[in-house]
Structure 1
Amino acid sequence: MLEMRDVCFHYGNGTPILEHMNVEIGAGEFIGLGGRNGCGKTTVTRLLMGLEKPVSGEIRYDGRIINEDDASRRSAFIGYVFQRPERQMFRPTVRDEVAYGPQQFGRQADEIEASVQAALEQTGLSDLADAYPPNLNRGEKQRVAIASAIAMHTQYLILDEPTSGQDSADKEELMQLLTKLNRQGLTVLIISHDMDIFAEYCHRVLVIGQHTKAFDGTPEELFTKRDDLYDLGLSRPDSVTLSLSVPGLPYCKSMKDFTAAMLQKLGGQK
């Protein structure tokens, strides 16, 4: 369990970014984190990672207060994929990049080799093991960052706007990879403005508003029961809007689901 207990945070000028933030993130969850630009989403993840420290309140991991643990120590159980993943890469090959974390934790050479090989296979990067990371495309760089986390046997993976600027094929490939890893037990937390991602893939959505948690529940609850989506900087996915407009149609989390539901409905009317 990763927790924020009554966490408050502000930068040097004292303007509050987060106030009395309480969040519990359990093992195996797939969570979307949303809200308006500047609402504090990235700050939440930086606090969890140890890149920032709370002004007050506690960050806990399995009941232990980890406020003073820096990011390098937390990297043993939390991986982070930046919006621009190339900023976290500095080694000459993909293999070396993925091996860096386990090496820093002093693991044995044979253990490192096995962890790196498994991580490359899981992320589809085996054929790029000797490639120079800056020469990769954005989707490949993201997979390198994910592989680096997997090689550390990470329990939590945080991604900042992972699908922005990607075409539909790259987006689908990334989300299928994250879904697979989540089914294998990895906890995934995604910061995104892409409501389709929340609806189709996330089991739970957290929304930040007015410097604290404004919503915590399922995507279906968010998109069908809240009437303040605009105020929170969110929108309803087209698949949900369309399914709500057709009497008798179930909640549809994707356009694929909507199409299938419509075909079934029309077929039943013959």
Structure 2
Amino acid sequence: MLNLKNISFSYAGREKIFDNIDLQIDTSLITAIAGRNGTGKTTLTRLIMGLVKAKAGTVELDGKIISDMPSYTLAKYIGYVFQNPDHQLFASTVYEETAYAPSKLGMNAEQIKKNVSQALADTGLSTKQNFMPQTLSLGDKQRLSIASSLAAAPKLLILDEPTSGQDCRERTVLLRLMRKLNKEGIGIILVTHDMDILAEHADRVVVLADKKIAFNGTPRGLFADTEKTTAFGLELPEAARISNEIGLGLCLTPRELYKKLAERRKSNDSK
């Protein structure tokens, strides 16, 4: 479990972004963080990662207080993938980039090689280990950022708008990777403005609004209340919008919508 207790935060000279919030996240799940622009989605993940420090309160992971740890120490527990991968890629080759974190954490050469090979295999980058990171596509850069985190063997991976600017194929590859990693035991915190991704892939949703946790529950629980969703500044997923308009009830994904349409057609044909 990841626990944020009585967290308050503001940037210097600005009003509070969070005011005495409490949040518990099950790190075995995929948890999406959503909310209007400016509600602190990225700031919340940076607080968890130790990139910024809370004015008050603590962050705990599995009962251990981590809010006082430096971010480089936290890398062995939590991986962080920035929205723009160019902000964190610096090495000369894909292999060197992936090996950086485990080497700084003191792993021996054999363990580093093993972790890097596994991370590159998991992210589909094994054949590009000698490439310069700057020459990769945006999708490959995102997966390299993930590989760099995975090589440190974290328990939790934070992804900040990971599909932003990617084409359909790259987006699909990354989302499949995210689910694969979660099934293998790595918790995922996903910051996203894409409600279709949230509805299809998240197990839990945390919505930020008015300096607090405005919602913490399942995607179905969120989107079942259209007025609440709108009040949070969020749109309904496309499948939910269509299913509501044609009287099918709440469908979160295209697959669910198609299934309901087939059931309706079968019911009409039998009459």
Residue number in structure 1 paired with 2:203: 203
CA displacement at 1:140 relative to structure 2:
0.3
TM-score (norm 1): 0.96
Unaligned runs of 5+ in 1: none
Residue number in structure 2 paired with 1:255: 254
Aligned residues: percent identity?
Answer: 38
1:131-172 CA distance string (max 9 Å, x none): 100110111001001111111111111111111212222211
Find the aligned partners of 2:250 and 2:123 in 1 and give their Cα distance: 32
Find the aligned partners of 1:154 and 1:86 in 2 and give their Cα distance: 21
1:213-270 CA distance string (max 9 Å, x none): 00000000100125232331211111012223344x3532212321232123202321
Residue number in structure 2 paired with 1:163: 163
Output aligned runs, 1:92-111, within 5 Å. Answer: 92-111=92-111
The letter of the residue matching 1:5 is: K
Find the aligned partners of 1:66 and 1:226 in 2 and give their Cα distance: 37
CA displacement at 1:2 relative to structure 2:
1.4
Find the aligned partners of 1:189 and 1:27 in 2 and give their Cα distance: 8
The letter of the residue matching 1:260 is: K
Matched residue of 1:228: which SS? helix
CA displacement at 1:107 relative to structure 2:
0.8
Residue number in structure 1 paired with 2:88: 88
Contact 1:250/1:261 (8 A) holds in 2: no
Contact 2:160/2:191 (8 A) holds in 1: yes
Matched residue of 2:231: which SS? coil
Find the aligned partners of 2:31 and 2:227 in 1 and give their Cα distance: 21
Find the aligned partners of 2:168 and 2:67 in 1 and give their Cα distance: 39
1:107-148 CA distance string (max 9 Å, x none): 111111011001111111111111100110111001001111
Matched residue of 1:230: which SS? helix
Find the aligned partners of 2:3 and 2:128 in 1 and give their Cα distance: 36
Find the aligned partners of 1:81 and 1:267 in 2 and give their Cα distance: 46
Contact 2:89/2:97 (8 A) holds in 1: yes
Output aligned runs, 1:11-50, within 5 Å. Answer: 11-50=11-50
Residue number in structure 2 paired with 1:77: 77
CA displacement at 1:27 relative to structure 2:
2.7
Matched residue of 2:224: which SS? helix
Find the aligned partners of 1:226 and 1:23 in 2 and give their Cα distance: 24
Find the aligned partners of 2:56 and 2:147 in 1 and give their Cα distance: 34
Find the aligned partners of 2:165 and 2:253 in 1 and give their Cα distance: 20
Contact 2:27/2:188 (8 A) holds in 1: no
1:71-113 CA distance string (max 9 Å, x none): 1011111111101112101111111101101100111111110
Matched residue of 1:86: which SS? helix
Find the aligned partners of 1:113 and 1:125 in 2 and give their Cα distance: 14
TM-score (norm 2): 0.96
RMSD in angstroms over aligned alpha carbons?
A: 1.3
Q: Which moved more, 1:98-107 or 1:21-30?
A: 21-30
Matched residue of 2:117: which SS? helix
Unaligned runs of 5+ in 2: none
Matched residue of 1:89: which SS? coil
